[in-house]
Amino acid sequence: MDPASLSADELSQLIGLIYEGPLEPVPWQKSLNFIRERLRANYVTLILRSSTPDDPGLYISAGDVTTEGSVSYATYYYSLDPFVDLPPEQVVTVHEILGEAQWIASPLYQEFLAHYNVFHIMGADVRTPGGEECRLRVCRPREAEAFSENDKAFCRLLLPHLKRAMILHAHFDRSESERKLYAGAMDRLMVGTLILDENGKILQTNAPADELLQARDGLRLADNALAAVYPRDDRELQRLVKGALCGHAKPGRAVVEAMSVMRPSGKRNLGVVVRSVPMGEWSEGKRRPAVAVFVRDPDSQPQATHEVVRQMFGLTPAEAALAMELAKGLSLEEAAVALNVRTNTVRAHLRSIFSKTGVARQSELVRVLLNSVAALACKKT
pLDDT surpasses 70 at 285: no
Q: How far apart are CA 193 and CA 275, in angstroms?
A: 11
% of the chain exceeding 90 in pLDDT: 46
Name the residue among 140, 132, 120 with its Cα closest to residue 162: 132
Residue 140's pLDDT band (cuts 50, 70, 90): very high
What per-residue string of b and e applies to 103-120 under the rule 16 or more CB within 10 Å gives b?
beebebbeebbeebebbb
Q: Do domains 3-177 and 303-379 have the same CATH topology?
A: no
Q: Please provide residue 49's backbone torsions phi and psi, each rounded to the nearest 5 degrees.
A: 80, 140
Highest CATH level, class, for 189-296: alpha beta
Average pLDDT over residues 161-184: 83
**What predicted TM-score, i.e. pTM, was given to this entire model?**
0.65
Tell me the pLDDT tens digit for each residue of 226-264.
999 999 999 999 999 999 988 766 665 678 899 999 999
pLDDT at 87: 86
What is the overall mean pLDDT for the chain? 85
Can you give the residue ranges of every domain in the chain?
A: 3-177, 189-296, 303-379
Question: Which segment, 48-52, 107-111, 145-149, is predicted with the most confidence on average?
Answer: 145-149
113 within 8 A of 78, measured Cβ to Cβ: no
What class does CATH assign to 303-379? mainly alpha
User: Crossing angle, helix 332-339 and helix 317-327, to 10 degrees?
Assistant: 130
Mean pLDDT, residues 165-190: 79
**Which class does domain 3-177 fall in?**
alpha beta
Whether the predicted pLDDT of 214 surpasses 90: yes
Nearest CA-CA partner of 39 in 74, 3, 7, 78: 3
Q: What is the pLDDT of residues 60-81, one digit of tens each?
A: 888 876 555 555 565 556 666 7
- d(C-alpha 24, C-alpha 32), whole Å: 12
